[in-house]
Amino acid sequence: MKRICMAALMLASITFISACGSPEEQIHKHLEETIVLEKDFEDQQKPLMELEQEEKALFDEIMSLGMKHFDKITSLSNEALANLDKREEHLAKEEEAMEASKNEFEKIDDVLDKMEDEKIQAKAKELQDLMNKRFDAHGQLVSAYKDVIQEDRKMYEMLKDKELKHEDLEAQIVKSNEAQEKVLEANEKFNEYTKTFNAEKEKLYKEAGIGSE
């Protein structure tokens, strides 16, 4: 049975236009710092993608072997388990970066109330709500990704059992596929919020007259 290929997942990142004094410019300052703090999050994407591709290759090789190659299957399964450990490490760094970014973003709360232009203030609050939804979406994505790692770990541990039944393996692969489907859905949702945020942020900056070159 084939598994879904989750490799090559890439998350969209927020962008900024560069500006400092007015409430609008202070918001820009906090946004810029928020994006800087997300750099560590972006840095995890390439290694995670490469590890996903490596794990998929290991899985395919395992599936091509018969039980007469049990020692080889065990060895490859151990490699896959080590791969999952590395992915957890990168995921933890990604979580830390997003948490730092979120903490910085929350600093705009006090600034919003100081804005005098009610129309721009309303747009800024809409942008704030959008970013908070993006943070929530990332949390859901991380949770789904952790579930994938958990299900994959069960599968590779099972593959080291010489008495493993084919139907049990198929059932576990189904669980792994279902978990990966949820990751793909969460990834799409997160990327959509990111793209919308970027577009709305630029509109706000243009209307507020900040961040222009």
Where exactly are the structural domains of the chain?
23-208
Task: Identify the residue whose tokens are 């007015």.
Answer: 22
- The predicted-structure confidence for 61-118, as pLDDT tens digits, reads as follows 999 998 889 999 999 999 999 999 999 999 999 999 999 999 999 989 888 888 888 9
User: In sequence order, what are the residues at sequence separation of 6 or more whose Cβ sits closer than 8 angstroms to the Cβ of residue 156?
Assistant: 77, 78, 80, 81, 84
- Tens digit of each residue's pLDDT (9 = 90 or more) over 152-171: 999 999 999 999 999 999 99
pTM, two decimal places: 0.86
- CA separation for the pair 30, 2 (Å, rounded): 46
Which CATH number fits the domain 23-208, given the four candidates 3.40.30.10, 1.20.120.570, 3.40.50.2300, 3.30.460.10? 1.20.120.570
- Three-state SS at 78: helix
